[in-house]
Structure 1
Amino acid sequence: MSGSANRPVRRRAFVLGTAAAVGTAALSGTASAAAFGWSDDGSNYVVDTGANLVFKVSKTNGDLTSLVYRGTEYQGYGGMNSHIESGLGTSTVSIRQSGSTILISVVYGTLRHYYAARSGENNIYLWTDKADASVSATRYILRVKKGLFLNDEPDSYTYAPTTIEASDVFAKSDGQTRSKHYSRLRVMDYDYIGWTTGSVGLWMVRSNHEKASGGPFYRSLLRHQSADGGGLYEILYYGQNQTEAQRFGLQGPYVIALTDGGAPSSALFPGTLTTSWADSLGIAGYVGASGRGRVAGVGISGRNTAYPYTVGLANSAAQYWGSARSSDGWFSIGGVLPGTYTLTVHKGELAVHTTSVTVTAGGTTTLNTIAVPSSNDPGNATAIWRIGDWNGTPSGFKNADLMTYAHPSDVRAASWTGNVVIGNNETASFPCYLWKDVNSGILVYFRLTAAQAAAAHTLRIGVTTAYANGRPQVTVNDAWTSAIPSPPAQPNTRSLTNGSYRGNNHTFTYSVPASAWRTDTSQYNVLRIDVVSGSGATGYLSAGTAIDAIDLLA
């Protein structure tokens, strides 16, 4: 896929996700006359892969100081190198060659970081072992020189000069918003991130995230580009909108891959990458394939087949997940470290069943059909009316799709205000987010039959996250007002404005007495939903919440 010297190549930018999108890109680059090996230039260890890639690692602090592919330097912008977090201090850096592998080891306190090169490959394999919280190591950032790739996607801010929130959300002159947070993608949605010009591709292939936190639905910054250059990230732990405690241990490998413009090889992807060549390298915390196990389930019964199901495994040390087959719920999750895990079945992103499973090294734990009790799925309850679907996401609500890659103030967003009438496109009319300072007090109009109005009913409001303890208080017909509910446990960072609705799913339940309903069946009942909190700032940073579903039970 190389560009012709006589034909200009139009620069393009892609966020390329799963293995299904990948063709037959080769694992190894085209070999050149250069010899595989390493040298010492005094300040750096210089590694030549024997293909088309030469890179340098600082002997002082373990920074990646140079990344030359086919003679072009890609590394660096703003005078900064590529490195863990914002760079380590003085470290112990060593190098050794074992046959067709070169390994550079970086030791900084309790942190261990590794770069590995394989003969004939245009890839750099990276591992990071964080043993404790004494070192801040939440990401690896590959910094890329400006002008080499074009990116005006949502996760850029090259053409967005106006800052509208903090120092990382921007607005273009046309009112569209940009931020490094606006990747659109959950962890389970992508295998790699990067750019291509059509003749050169530069990619970050993610690790299996077994020591990360947040599960398969977590969203985080993956890529950005500004006037200074671009960045590709492997997020090892990111505190923003985080639902789990930090896990410690070896992360990786994640891979910096260069290609002739195509996608990275699917052989590098988490779940397919094999690294038996690394078994004897002495990488701290490394566990090879023989020290891992598998969990397989013959099926899941009690599913609503209109939704995808995901099975997750998690304990304090590791996390894994896999998709359940749509036909019968069969699943298989491999490469699992030994231990006892909580197995969670998710309908969409809503947990509907949990159990415990134990994994042993070299073994497969086979589970009989998992039966999801009907009562575990709130969508199975009979409702007089329902807004949205109980799937753990705000999908289908007004502006829901846009909010994974734009700020709520974006010109493309429909009005956040406006009332809702049951029976008149109610889900698409109801905003996915409610804020105390923006659209609190939204009204929902609905009619009841005489029999329904004569009885008390349960009202449920499901949320996926909340900001600044925002939670719903309801009033019916100005005749009855609920108590202010206690705030559920939620992340304490921004969420609704930086592309993520993912928090802790929670259902608020309100027992509405029969005396609150209108007895004239020709009249609408009016439900008012207010966001209450003693916290938050103003506008879109006031207390708020994201909606999963709302229903009135029969």
Structure 2
Amino acid sequence: MSASPNRPVRRRAFVLGGAAAAGTAALSGPLASPASAAAFGWSDDGSNYVVDTGANLVFKVSKTNGDLTSLVHRGTEYQGYGGKNSHVESGLGTSTVTIAQSGTTILVSVAHGTLKHYYAARSGENNIYLWTNKADSSVSATRYIVRVKAGLFLNDEPDSYTYAPTVIESADVFVKSDGQTRSKHYAKRRVIDYSAIGWTTGSVGLYVVRSNHEKASGGPFYRSLLRHQSTDGGGLYEILYYGENQTEAERFGLQGPYVIAFTDGGTPSSSLYPGTLTTPWADSLGISGYVAASGRGKVAGVGISGRDTAYAYTVGLADPAAQYWGPARSSDGYFSIGGVLPGTYTLTVFKGELAVHTTSVTVTAGATTTLNTITVASSNDPANASAIWRIGTWDGTPSGFKNADLMTYAHPSDVRAAAWTGNVVIGSGGETASFPAYIWKDVNSGLLVHFRLTAAQAAAAHTLRIGVTTAYANGRPQVTVNDWVSSVPSPPAQPSTRSLTVGSYRGNNNTFTYSVPASAWLTDTSRYNVLKIDVVSGSGTTSYLSAGTSIDALDLLV
């Protein structure tokens, strides 16, 4: 039964501890405030549909364009800054907006061309559930931004630029007076690392709980902006396709739910997290593209052999329509990935972030596809090759290299970064820590690695390998060994947008191999051979936006 525009339906909402009454999802926050008798229902104020969740949350959705125009929790307005609302993209424009109530659920539906967006409220909850169905590329990207008034939450983390008024790159990277850099891009976290993003004052928290990202692109290790705060206000994001540093084509279809959640200051309840959240109450709401749990399947693997137990392993599923992932158990490699849409997927086993095994798997609705033990072939892990020397670890990341950790939350010019220049002597100790995570044509190209060979080693040809995780502007390494110069390798497929300066090394892992002839080596074993690594490319501009690349590992094989 739908509520009358002027007479909201009133329902009692009883809350026990942190869980809602039986049949509803748990409230956000471990100590969610009890909701005494309150009005659950909706009304029409002429310009907006006004939804009262019957707890401590009242929100408004524009009848004209589907914007979230008001977000009032415990009497405080949180929504909006600079005359802007919360919405898909930067606002959809004129849309068809409707509202309906089904028992203890209210659904606001927004249709804009081929895109459909939904807001759902549940009786007695301080949450808004959102879905976005993008059918094609008529909308350039897919994000939802919750715009939050200035001054309600404090934030001087890397993703803030409140205190950093000087622009150093594009219009979105800033430097403070102390030399530390700030940008909304500096989120630190990969998708796999977080379930919710937000702020807390200690007594109230506002978060966006991400969806399972089944229709997003980039896989479990993708990084994108999650939140920002500036002098005019803050933003919390659900990024589904941003078009920056993307390694996959855009996927279309229904994405969600993701949740705007208010808490009593703690993090949202894990019952709202992707992989945990269930929404049987939404099965009959008529959401375009919605697939209930009964229409999904599961993949489970009894184990993975051939692992290096020093690393975490992740199993991913991907096809043009959807993506999923889950951790492999450290003891034996067991994994289970549920809620998967029917289809045939490429299953990839990642050591760290490096793909070391792929196969095909078919998922059917209502069934579990069980896989026998997966064996990672020794040859699929480059770390298994015998090396005369090795710098870094083959894990698909620049971890361990100089400045690597800092680069996920700072600009390369940040005052906290060690000098990007500096050469390495094999055998001196600390070779990896002294080798730069990134190399740019205009910054530190020409890095030198000094090493000795035995007489037997110098008498033979050897393979030199350089693994990279991404590249900017087609930057790739050309090497010189003493007087021998390699050819210029072809650039592999990599994202075309900024990466190294906006907190992400994630692109397409690629290994460059160089066959160095015996004639290249010095025959005097007391002398150091010198490897010079140059970044070559005709693209890019200057400084940290010149052609560059991120290093995974480099070694000289036996």
Using the size of structure 2 for normalisation, the TM-score is 0.94
The equivalent of 2:356 in structure 1 is 352
Map 1:329-478 → 2, pairs under 5 A:
329-424=333-428, 425-477=430-482
1:423 offset after TM fit, Å?
1.7
- State the one-letter code of the partner of 2:164: A
2:239 partner letter = I
1:392 maps to amino acid: G
User: Where does residue 211 of structure 1 map in the other structure?
Assistant: 215
1:149 matched to 2:153? The reply is: yes
Counterparts of 1:246 and 1:553 in 2: how far apart (Å)?
Answer: 39
Kept in 2, the 8 Å contact 1:158–1:226? The answer is yes
Residue aligning to 1:191? 195
Structure 1 residue 314, shift from structure 2 partner:
0.2
Distance 1:521 1:263 in 2: 60
C-alpha distance in 2 between matches for 1:28 and 1:217: 32
Q: How does 1:176-187 map to 2 (within 5 A)?
A: 176-187=180-191
Given the alignment of the two structures, is residue 81 of structure 1 paired with residue 85 of structure 2, yes or no? yes
- Asked if residue 551 in structure 1 is aligned to residue 531 in structure 2, the reply is no
**Contact 1:27–1:268 (Cα < 8 Å) also in 2:** no
SS at 1:333's partner residue?
A: strand
Which residue matches 1:328? 332
How far is the alpha carbon of 1:24 from its aligned partner? 9.0
| Equivalent residue letter for 1:455 | A
1:312, 1:319 within 8 Å by CA — same for their partners in 2? yes
Tell me: CA distance 1:26–1:281, structure 2 relative to 1, closer, same or farther (3 Å). farther
Aligned match of 1:161: 165
Structure 1 CA distance for aligned equivalents of residues 121 and 427 of structure 2? 61
CA deviations 1:158-206 (Å, max 9, x no partner) are 0001100000000000000000000000000000000000011000000
**AA aligned opposite 1:421:** V
Aligned-pair CA distance for 1:32: 3.5
**Matching residue of 2:225:** 221
- Matches of 1:334 and 1:387 in 2, distance apart? 38
In structure 2, the residue corresponding to 1:267 is in which secondary structure?
helix
- Give the Cα–Cα distance (whole angstroms) in 1 for the partners of residues 77 and 419 of structure 2: 46
Distance between the aligned counterparts of 1:27 and 1:104, measured in 2? 28
Distance 1:297 1:343 in 2: 11
* Matched residue type, 2:479: V
What does the per-residue CA deviation read over 1:67-118, in whole Å, with 9 as the maximum and x for residues that have no partner?
0000000000011000000001110000000000000000000000000000
Provide the residue aligned with 1:111 in structure 2: 115
3-state SS of 1:540 partner: helix
Task: Determine what percentage of the aligned residue pairs are the same residue.
Answer: 85
**Contact 1:435 / 1:542 at 8 angstroms: preserved in 2?**
yes
Match of 2:307 among 299, 303, 325: 303
Summarize the Cα distance change of 1:101–1:495 in structure 2 as closer, same or farther, 3 Å threshold. same
* Inter-partner Cα distance in structure 2 for 1:153 and 1:24: 24
Contact kept in structure 2, 1:130 and 1:137, CA below 8 Å = no
Within 2, Cα distance between the matches of 1:236 and 1:91? 21
Distance 1:28 1:96 in 2: 27
Which amino acid counterpart does residue 347 of structure 1 have in structure 2?
K
Is the 1:27–1:264 Cα contact (8 Å) retained in structure 2?
no
Match of 1:8 in 2: none
CA distance in 2, matches of 1:389, 1:100: 53
Tell me the amino acid that sits aligned with residue 94 of structure 1.
T
CA spacing shift, 1:381–1:513, aligned 2, 3 Å: same
Q: Note if contact 1:422-1:444 (Cα within 8 Å) is conserved in structure 2.
A: yes
Structure 1, unaligned stretches of length 5 or more? 1-22
Post-superposition shift, 1:29? 5.0
Query: Which residue of 2 is the match for residue 502 of structure 1?
Result: 506
Please tell me whether the aligned partners of residues 326 and 335 of structure 2 are also in contact (alpha carbons under 8 angstroms).
yes
Which residue identity is paired with 1:124? I
* Count of paired positions: 532
Task: Choose from 98, 101, 124 the match for 1:97.
Answer: 101
How far 1:138 sits from its partner (Å)? Answer: 1.5
The RMSD of aligned alpha carbons is 1.2
Cα distance, 1:238 vs. partner? 1.1
Q: Find the residue that maps to 1:236 and give its secondary structure.
A: strand
Matched letter for residue 451 of structure 1: A
Counterpart Cα distance in 2 of 1:412 and 1:73: 38
> Quick check: 1:59 aligned with 2:55?
no
Deviations 1:488-528 (A, max 9, x none): 00000000000000000000000001111111111111000
Unpaired runs of 5+ residues, structure 2, are 1-26
Deviation by residue 1:323-372 (Cα, 9 ceiling, x = unmatched): 00000000000000000000000000000000000000000000000001
Deviation at 1:34, TM superposition (A): 2.3
Deviation at 1:458, TM superposition (A): 0.2
Q: How far 1:26 moved relative to its partner?
A: 4.4
Aligned 1:282-293 pairs, distance under 5 A: 282-293=286-297
Q: CA deviation at 1:30?
A: 2.4
**Distance in 2 of aligned mates of 1:91 and 1:27:** 38
Task: Provide Cα deviations, 1:235-270, integer angstroms capped at 9, x if missing partner.
Answer: 010110000000000000000000111111100000
1:235 corresponds in structure 2 to 239
Q: Distance between the aligned counterparts of 2:69 and 2:540, measured in 1? A: 42
Would you identify which runs of 4 or more consecutive aligned residues in structure 1 move more than 2 Å? 23-30
The letter of the residue matching 1:351 is: A
- Normalization by structure 1: what TM-score? 0.95
Deviation at 1:25, TM superposition (A): 2.9
Counterpart CA distance in 2 for 1:29 and 1:345 is 43
* 2:126 paired residue among 122, 126, 129: 122
The aligned amino acid for 1:534 is G
Q: Residue 135 of structure 1: CA displacement?
A: 2.1
Q: Which stretch has the larger CA shift, 63-72 or 419-428?
A: 419-428
- Distance in structure 2 (CA, Å) of the matches to 1:363 and 1:28: 36
Q: What residue number does 2:4 align with?
A: none
Within 1, Cα distance between the matches of 2:444 and 2:472?
15
- Find the aligned partners of 1:433 and 1:100 in 2 and give their Cα distance: 53
Q: Determine the C-alpha separation between the residues in 2 that align with 1:138 and 1:496.
A: 23
SS state at 1:365 partner: strand
Q: Distance in 2 between matches of 1:445 and 1:494?
A: 32
Distance 2:425 2:364 in 1: 54
